[in-house]
Amino acid sequence: MAAWQGIDGAVCRYRQGGNPLGRPFRRLSHFSLSGVPEDLTIQTDDQDRPAGLLYRGKIYYDRMFDDVELSKRTLAKNWNSLNVAQRQEFVLLFRQVLEKAYIDKILAYTDEKIVFDRETMVSGTQAEIQTKIVTPSKEIPISYRVLLKDGAWKVYDVVIENVSLVLNYRTQFNDILAKNTPEQLIEILRKKVKGQ
């Protein structure tokens, strides 16, 4: 195992072998890890830590996640119900919802270990990277589904403890759109973002 300090101050570990994991793994670990090959820990009482993590979390999210792909896959067939302007606004609003949820998760962790376990190539342009957060009491499995797009691997879904982020939100949005128009869905998202 090799250890690196993660963006949240946690020590990240990943398996090393004769054949290093492929490009999707390297892409994810590059943005998930600080790149400092030392076992360093950020002190939890450091007053600048939350602001620093917030800033770094936003950068991580921006570089790692594919907002348009996440939005399309989450809305599925309902994506075609939105006009171009609605799609653009949905992507921006949904990004803010997901970014906030992701950063809140980062701030919830202190000294946990993140283990990059293995990569499974689904096709030449899709892969799944399995990781886990190791706490003193349990291990939390997290899988990143990534897509090769424009020469870069980007996350289009995250599965935490067997719950897909895309499918979870798809269910919610399907329920909303069964009773409301696309414009009303966007208004709901506007209110959610404003209240964050």
* CATH classification of the domain holding 17: 3.10.450.710
- Dihedral sign of CA atoms 61, 70, 26, 63 in order: negative
pLDDT at residue 174 above 50? yes
Rounded CA-CA distance 73/66 in Å is 11
The closest alpha carbon to 65, from 153, 128, 6, 139, belongs to 153
Q: What percent of the chain has pLDDT over 90?
A: 33
pTM of the predicted model, to two decimals?
0.73
Where is average pLDDT lowest: 5-14, 63-72, 130-139?
Answer: 5-14
163 Rama sector, left if φ>0, alpha if ψ -120 to 50, beta otherwise? beta
Provide the residue type at 194 as one letter.
K
pLDDT for 42: 32
Q: How large is the angle between the packed helices 67-75 and 84-108, nearest 10 degrees?
A: 110
- State mean pLDDT over 93-99: 91
Q: What is the pLDDT of residues 143-164, one digit of tens each?
A: 889 888 888 888 899 888 888 9
Domain enclosing residue 174, as ranges: 2-195
- Give the Cβ contact number of residue 60 at 10 Å: 20
Average pLDDT, the chain: 74
- State mean pLDDT over 115-134: 85
Where is average pLDDT lowest: 58-62, 109-113, 192-196?
Answer: 109-113
- State mean pLDDT over 118-135: 86
Q: Give the C-alpha distances (Å, rounded to integers) separating 20 from 12, 16, 155.
A: 16, 6, 20
- State mean pLDDT over 56-67: 78
- State mean pLDDT over 139-143: 86
Residue pair 149/65 in contact (Cβ under 8 Å)? The answer is: no
Q: What is the pLDDT of residues 38-53, one digit of tens each?
A: 222 333 444 555 555 5
Residue pair 11/113 in contact (Cβ under 8 Å)? The answer is: yes
| 60 confidence band (pLDDT: 50, 70, 90) | confident
What dihedral angle (degrees, nearest 10) is formed by the CA atoms of 138, 171, 102, 119? 60
Number of structural domains (the chain) is: 1
Q: Is pLDDT larger for residue 28 or for residue 101?
A: 101
Q: Are strands 152-160 and 139-149 parallel, antiparallel or unpaired?
A: antiparallel
Rounded CA-CA distance 161/171 in Å is 17
